[in-house]
Amino acid sequence: MEFMKSLGKGSYGSVDLMRLTKPNGTEPCYVPCSEKLLRSRLRVSPQRVSDTF
């Protein structure tokens, strides 16, 4: 996972674009993410998170 440049303040605080490379090797997708969103996502097991994308 790589963090891209900050997009400024959002409703969740600072929002960044996160590059997600899918496990099957298809082209990466970019999704907006924020600290709160990321923290809530990290409560889920890493394997489950990667399965979501």
Domain ranges of the chain: 2-52
Closest to 1 measured CA to CA, from 25, 44, 30:
30
Longest dimension (CA), the chain: 33
Assessment of whether the complete model's pTM goes beyond 0.85: no
pLDDT tens readout for residues 30-48? 666 655 655 565 555 455 5
User: CA-CA distance, 49 to 26, in Å (whole number)?
Assistant: 17
User: CA-CA distance, 36 to 41, in Å (whole number)?
Assistant: 9
pLDDT tens readout for residues 3-39? 555 555 545 455 566 666 666 766 666 666 655 655 5
Residues 6+ apart with CB under 8 A from 5: 16, 17
